[in-house]
């Protein structure tokens, strides 16, 4: 498991024991989440450098200076790695040797460039991102040429989700939107309320988005129709396996079974038990099937 830090370190831990395997010091803040492919980890730093390091010994494979602050995480497809920057640029490099393949700067207006906090996403043909000013951008993954743009008219921080030939984006205005990946045509927009900062997640036929107001929404990928919502989440909505959804709330990890949330009353009982456990004793996690798993609290 590889973790970045605003203290300027990137640390690899053994997943079973938690033992520190190696640590890399970059000399700059690292807000970019590392992406590991094979025995190489890729990440950016706020001083504009994109790193490729060995996960075996921490040795630097290559480093490339983009000239713009990097908060985003890299997007990798094939032997290419792409990154967006605060300077309004998108770079694409050969991930094996760090050689630049192309770069492009996205204009906000005739005098200024856009600025990117969101990470780029790709379907292999196109690269998608959202500027902090709220411009959705699609560029050709082969050469960086701009294919289409769309203005959200709100602040943009969420990394796009790409599935089924569509691009799904959450906005600070409380909307989840779906676009045709090839043309940029808006297919639907669904208002759920709240401010969406984290990236949407597509699982099966549902799109999930969490708000800063600590509520997670599930809407249909096809037409945006709401399926359910629960009072959990904040930044990233959830992760999933074949059998479970995993969500977090105030330090709790709760597992839900299947494609639907548990009845709301069960969620209330889970919160009540967790609140009671905060005073000492036993912390409980309740799954959608209602089965309780107890864990003694450590102090």
- pLDDT per residue as tens digits for the range 9-61: 999 998 788 899 999 999 999 999 999 999 999 999 999 999 999 999 999 99
Position 143 scores a pLDDT of: 97
CATH 2.40.128.630 fits 1-106, yes or no: yes
Position 278 scores a pLDDT of: 53
3-state secondary structure of 26: coil
Position 236 scores a pLDDT of: 75
Q: Which position has the higher pLDDT, 24 or 232?
A: 24
Are the C-beta atoms of residues 121 and 162 closer than 8 Å to each other? yes
Of the pLDDT bands very low, low, confident and very high (cuts 50, 70, 90), residue 292 is: very low
Q: Which position has the higher pLDDT, 189 or 294?
A: 189
Position 269 scores a pLDDT of: 56
**Domain ranges, ordered by start, for the chain:** 1-106, 243-299
Please report, rounded to a whole number, the percentage of residues in the chain having pLDDT higher than 90.
66
pLDDT at 97 over 90: yes
Exposed e or buried b per residue across 2-13, where buried means at least 16 C-beta atoms within 10 angstroms of its C-beta: bebeeebebbbe
**pTM recorded for the entire structure:** 0.81
For 249-282, write each residue's pLDDT tens digit: 656 667 777 655 444 445 555 555 655 655 543 3
Position 234 scores a pLDDT of: 81
**Average of per-residue pLDDT across 164-187:** 97
For 114-171, write each residue's pLDDT tens digit: 999 999 999 999 999 999 999 999 999 999 999 999 999 998 889 999 999 999 999 9
Position 250 scores a pLDDT of: 59
d(CA 276, CA 272) in angstroms, rounded, equals 6
Position 245 scores a pLDDT of: 72
């Amino acid at each position: 498991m590889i973790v970045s830090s605003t203290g300027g370190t990137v640390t690899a831990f053994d997943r079973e024991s938690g033992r520190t395997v190696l640590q890399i010091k970059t000399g700059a803040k690292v807000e970019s989440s590392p992406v590991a492919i094979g025995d190489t980890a890729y990440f950016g730093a706020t001083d504009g450098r994109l790193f490729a390091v060995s996960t075996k010994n921490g040795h630097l494979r290559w480093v490339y200076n983009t000239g713009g602050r990097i908060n985003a995480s890299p997007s990798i497809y094939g032997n290419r790695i792409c990154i967006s920057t605060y300077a309004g640029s998108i770079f694409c490099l050969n991930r094996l040797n760090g050689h630049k393949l192309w770069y492009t700067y996205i204009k906000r207006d005739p005098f200024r460039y856009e600025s990117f906090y969101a990470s780029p996403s790709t379907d292999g043909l196109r690269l998608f991102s959202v500027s902090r000013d709220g411009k959705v951008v699609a560029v050709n993954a082969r050469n960086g040429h701009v294919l289409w743009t769309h203005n959200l008219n709100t602040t943009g921080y969420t990394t796009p989700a790409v599935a089924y030939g569509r691009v799904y984006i959450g906005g600070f205005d409380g909307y989840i939107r779906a676009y045709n990946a090839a043309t940029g045509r808006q297919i639907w927009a669904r208002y759920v309320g709240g401010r969406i900062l984290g990236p949407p997640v597509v699982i099966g036929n549902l799109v999930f988005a969490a708000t800063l107001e600590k509520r997670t929404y599930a809407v249909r990928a096809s037409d945006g129709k709401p399926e359910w919502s629960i009072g959990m989440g904040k930044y990233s909505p959830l992760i999933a396996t074949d059998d479970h959804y995993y969500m977090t709330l105030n330090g709790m990890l709760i597992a839900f079974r299947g494609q639907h949330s548990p009845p709301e009353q069960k969620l209330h009982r889970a919160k009540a038990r967790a609140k009671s456990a905060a005073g000492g004793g036993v912390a409980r996690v309740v799954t959608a099937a209602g089965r309780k798993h107890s864990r003694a609290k450590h102090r």
